[in-house]
Amino acid sequence: MGQPGNTNFLSQFGYHLVIMRLPEIEYFLQRCSIPGLNLGAANRSTPFASPVPYPGDLLFNDLSFSFKVDENMDDYFSIFDWMIRLGFPENFAQYKELATRNRFPGNFEEGEVTSDISLLLLDNKQNPKFKFNFMSCWPTSMSDLIFNSTDTTVNYITAEVVFKYTLFTFERL
């Protein structure tokens, strides 16, 4: 048996996450994960034995990451506002404003309420090695912000966000 071509391990520190709609989030990113996937089984009946399983639908887990909340809460309110406008709890004008507002020109099309997200994995020299692409993402949940005055050290506030997406691909760079 031969030796592997590369004996370096993948580091947990070598990554960048870019949300096209919210590029400022990358600066405060704390943790992210590459979603897992599940391949279901479809059963095929036979006249002789119990049903025979075959590969079924492929399901991707949600994309999630956590970030430190800045003192002005700009990063938190960016996602909060996005979620409020997607759910249009008060009126349809909120949703329409999300679809027509383009905070970062060139990052997404007018009328688009989702955003592409890219996760870059870096090698041991901090060069991009892989790019994971998540298309048409939207936030589905954001964690509580927990304040605790009993801590004896400063623990800055973090939030976790979960996204759904329509497609997940990767490329070697």
Count CB atoms within 10 A of the CB of residue 139: 21
Residue 6 lies in a domain: no
- For residues 160 and 66, give the distance between their C-alpha atoms in angstroms, rounded to a whole number: 4
- 164, 86 contact by CB (below 8 A): no
Residue 9 tokens read as 């391990």
Residue 7 lies in a domain: no
Residue 4 lies in a domain: no
Q: For position 70, which CATH number holds?
A: 2.30.110
pTM for the full model? 0.83
Residues 6+ apart with CB under 8 A from 58: 37, 38, 39, 40
- Residue 147 belongs to domain spanning: 15-45+54-172
Residue 28 lies in a domain: yes
Residue 60 lies in a domain: yes
- Residue that the structure tokens 């954001």 belong to: 142
| Residue 112 confidence (pLDDT) | 76
Q: What is the 3-state secondary structure (H, E, C) of 58-81?
A: EEECCEEEEEECCCCCHHHHHHHH
- For residues 146 and 42, give the distance between their C-alpha atoms in angstroms, rounded to a whole number: 43
| Residue 110 confidence (pLDDT) | 53
Give the pairing of strands 37-44 and 52-60: antiparallel
Residue 170 tokens read as 């990767």
Report CA-CA distances (Å) from 83 to 4, 65, 90, 136: 46, 16, 13, 14
Closest CA to 22 of 156, 154, 163: 163
Mean pLDDT per 10-residue section of the chain, whose length is 173 residues: 78 87 84 93 85 89 95 92 85 75 51 86 91 95 94 92 94 95
Residue 124 lies in a domain: yes
- 138, 145 contact by CB (below 8 A): no
Residue 115 lies in a domain: yes
| Residue 100 confidence (pLDDT) | 66
- 62, 160 contact by CB (below 8 A): no
Report CA-CA distances (Å) from 158 to 65, 71, 96: 10, 11, 30
The structural domain count of the chain equals 1
Residue 58 lies in a domain: yes
